[in-house]
Structure 1
Amino acid sequence: MAIHNPYAAYQQNSVTTKSPGELTLMLYNGCIKFIQQAKLAIEDQNIEKRNESIQKAQKIIQEFMVTLNMDISVSQNMMVMYDYMNRRLMEANINNDRAILEEVEGMVTELRDTWKTVIQTQRQKQFGAGNQA
């Protein structure tokens, strides 16, 4: 069987071999990327691209919302935060507001950085401090 698109095969393999923590990190990075694309689209006055990018960021936030385990107390706080970010993204889209995008980007970046620290800490515990990747 010939591989028609080796890059697509690599991408698919890189996603399917990630841990749930690494997939979460990828989603945070994707959300940040789409918010940055939306900010550029505002500068370029590209309404269609802005809308598309914000909607992609919203879909990631909504995915976080539906996958929260509400039996864990921190999840209720996360739900409130994700709901706030989702509403702010809607406002940014409606009002063509770069400042709102920067606010949400800052929140997502903080979550991403915290998540990255958690993953690194888990790896250190799992593999020992001397075997960091």
Structure 2
Amino acid sequence: MAINNPYATYQNNSVNTSTPGELTLMLYNGCLKFIQQAKKAMEQGNIEEKNTATQKAQAIVSELMVTLDMSVEVSENMMVLYDFVNNRLLEGNIKNDSALYDEAAGIITEFRDTWKQVIQINRTKQYANTDEI
């Protein structure tokens, strides 16, 4: 007999009903969460947990890289920055250097904040267009 977990159900529903833009925002937030978990584990001396959290953050960055539309000019610049973030995470993990994690988090935060603004602008335009109908 399965026990219903309301949080897991909510999480699953939010992923299944989100727009591609909202899913990208979730990826950025997840990456930042895992970077923070890696830093905390590093401070606590928990190498295994630090490594796992770092790998999860790197997997998200890799997914963001794979989904880039390379026909759009800005994608080339984003690819370079994503590659840099992955490198900072790798180096931070190897060297136990929280400054490298902070550098990666700073770039991802910029991407996330910009993406959030894009979503808000698109929603405003979408609702403005539905008012005209």
1:120 is the counterpart of 2:120:
yes
Amino acid across the alignment from 1:75: S
User: Which piece of structure 1 moves more, 5-14 or 29-38?
Assistant: 5-14
- In 1: Cα distance, 2:56 partner to 2:34 partner: 7
Match of 1:35 in 2: 35
The total of aligned residue pairs comes to 128
Deviation by residue 1:107-133 (Cα, 9 ceiling, x = unmatched): 1001100000000000111113xx9xx
Counterpart residue number, 2:69: 69
Taking structure 2 as the reference length, what is the TM-score of the superposition? 0.91
Counterpart contact for 1:41–1:50, Cα < 8 Å: yes
- Contact in 2 for aligned 1:3/1:9 (Cα 8 Å): no
Alpha carbon RMSD of aligned pairs, Å?
1.5
CA distance in 2, matches of 1:22, 1:84: 24
Residues 8-17 or 57-66, more deviating: 8-17
Give the match for residue 88 of structure 1.
88
For the residues of structure 2 that align with 1:18 and 1:53, how far apart are their CA atoms? 24
- Flag structure 2 segments of 5+ consecutive residues without an equivalent: none
Deviation per CA, 1:75-109, whole angstroms, max 9, x where unpaired?
11111110111111110111111000011111100
Please state whether the residue corresponding to 1:24 is helix, strand or coil: helix
Does structure 2 retain, via aligned residues, the 8 Å contact 1:27–1:60?
yes
Deviation per residue, 1:24-73 (Å, 9 max, x gap): 00000000000011111111011011101100000000001111111111
* Letter in structure 2 aligned against 1:110: E
CA distance in 1 between counterparts of 2:98 and 2:3 reads: 42
Alignment match, 1:22: 22
Partner amino acid for 1:83? D
What TM-score, normalized by structure 1, do the two folds share?
0.91
**Cα distance, 1:3 vs structure 2:** 6.9
CA distance in 2 between partners of 1:114 and 1:3 (Å): 39
Unaligned runs of 5+ in 1: none
Instruction: Give, in whole Å, the separation in 1 of the partners of 2:5 and 2:121.
Output: 36
Match of 2:104 in 1: 104
SS in 2 for 1:68: coil
Deviation, 1:4, is 3.1
Rounded Cα–Cα distance in structure 1 between residues aligned with 2:49 and 2:4: 29
